[in-house]
Amino acid sequence: MVVGDFPIDAETIVIGGGPGGYVAAIRAAQLGQQVTLIEKENLGGTCLNVGCIPSKALITIGHRYQEAQHSDIMGVLAEDIKLDFTKAQEWKGGVVNKLTSGVAGLLKKNKVTVVAGEAYVGEDSSIRVMHENGAETYTYKNLIIATGSTPIEIKGFKYSKRVLNSTTALALPEVPKKLVIIGGGYIGTELGSAFANLGTEVVILEGGDEILPQYPKDMVQPVKRKMKDKGATIVTKALAQGVEESDTGVVVSYKANDKEETVEADYVMVTVGRFPNTAEIGLEQAGVKLTDRGLVEVDKQGRTSVSNIFAIGDIVAGAPLAHKASYEGKVAAEVIAGEPSEVDYIVMPAIVFSDPEIAQVGLSEKEAKDAGYDVKASKFPLGGNGRALSLNAPEGFVRLITRKSDNLVIGGQVVGVNASDVVSEIGLAIEAGMNAEDIALTIHAHPSLSETVMEAAELALGMPIHM
């Protein structure tokens, strides 16, 4: 290998070290490829550093704070509860550091070469990598692009000290007394729930008819109820107009019900979506086709319009989910290694870490009917589950969507404590082609939250025990 004016030959290059890129790099290495990973900032990407992991740590802090304040019903009495937010942020940072250092260790263990720098894709299978000490040119046999996405900045709300996105909101030095959130999707709802649990007065401005529009209304109602119980205000059909910023706060103007309104707060956070990081990295020069939205066009194997270039994660169609990116990364690596892999998104869980959590996988009842299936929706309440009651978390339900002809499980939704974990059993059932009887005949530990899936399966079979 010669560095300088001569290109560095690489077998497989991965651009981006997030949950799509680093997983793709490791899987490609496991399958015998010599892999180079190029990352311009931090290993772990948005998810580990400023997204999934720190937000869930903040959510956990909020839960603990609420439990400390409101456990008197169980006989646990505490006085003068205080939140040391500086210490909370330090703990959150420790969680992030542990995971990102773990990623570095995994890459080293799998003999992946990590290069720090910003990559620009050129012609003839070449990449120029710029860094603080200069630049090198790499050539490759195969390339996986996993450059992720960036929060959208809307007109009239230029990001600043008081106008936040999800990244800067997670790094606040203090808990805001009042926070306006523009956008009631999963990011706005998650962080809104988290800050409400920490004592912030939250105002969500949502342009549509409902927050979390991708989910059935009966899943969203418990979330709205909990947020309102904590003093949050949710304004729907609200269009943000602009913001006046001072050293101590903001005044946000918006239009709702044909009226111009204003709301004062310490900060305003914009969470209206993310855009793919595909601009100005040379993709068009390499012949890679993009959509009008800047997404990379790929086939079911992640292959772009250039046969030896693959794209995964937030820069391709579909929800910007870390587990989707990881899954696509494995598929791309396997295709490069000559395996007959391709993506299948039917068992792609979607989770909102709100309070309570909500999760779904497979087809909803409406989606199944729209697809021509004759289905049954079987809904078991958490209030009938001993473990949920013992956790003082009886709100929510598990719903199985089964095909009437053979009770095949084709979808499911979970609302309630640890929904993010419970939904995995339903996903496994769909992936394995199981029917409701397979779940019902599986002995579930008692008392456990997983019993709710068994109960819903028994309900689907017309033989419920605890209903």
For 311-348, the pLDDT digits (tens) are 999 999 999 999 999 999 999 999 999 999 999 999 99
How sure is the predictor about 7, in pLDDT bands with cuts at 50, 70 and 90?
A: confident
pLDDT at 15 over 90: yes
What three-state secondary structure class fits 378?
A: strand
Q: Can you tell me the mean pLDDT for 106-122?
A: 97
Residue 1 has what pLDDT? 38
Cross-strand pairs, 114: 37
Residue 127 has what pLDDT? 96
At 69-100, the pLDDT tens digits run 999 999 999 999 999 999 999 999 999 999 99
Flag whether 383 is marked binding. no
Flag whether 148 is marked binding. yes
The type of residue at 308 is N
Q: Give the CATH superfamily of 163-272.
A: FAD/NAD(P)-binding domain (3.50.50.60)
pLDDT at 123 over 50: yes
At 367-397, the pLDDT tens digits run 999 999 999 999 999 999 999 999 999 999 9
446 annotated active-site: yes
Distance CA 87, CA 90 (A): 5
User: What number does CATH give the domain 356-460?
Assistant: 3.30.390.30
Question: For 332, left (φ over 0), alpha (ψ -120 to 50), or beta?
Answer: alpha
At 166-184, the pLDDT tens digits run 999 999 999 999 999 999 9
CB 10, CB 140: distance < 8 Å: yes
pLDDT at 466 over 80: yes
Flag whether 188 is marked binding. yes
Distance of CA 25 to the CA centre of its chain: 21
Flag whether 186 is marked binding. yes
Give the closest residue to 52 by CA, choosing from 324, 240, 250. Answer: 324
Flag whether 281 is marked binding. no
Dihedral of CA 121/12/144/25: which sign? negative
Of residues 63, 131, 323, 446, which has the active-site annotation?
446
What three-state secondary structure class fits 55?
A: helix
Please give the angle made by the CA atoms of 1, 142 and 130, to the nearest 5 degrees.
55
Flag whether 62 is marked binding. no
Q: Which CATH fold topology does 8-151+275-345 show? A: FAD/NAD(P)-binding domain (3.50.50)
Q: Check if 8-151+275-345 and 356-460 are the same fold.
A: no
pLDDT at 3 over 80: no
Domain segments of the chain as ranges: 8-151+275-345, 163-272, 356-460
CB 327, CB 302: distance < 8 Å: no
Distance CA 297, CA 294 (A): 9
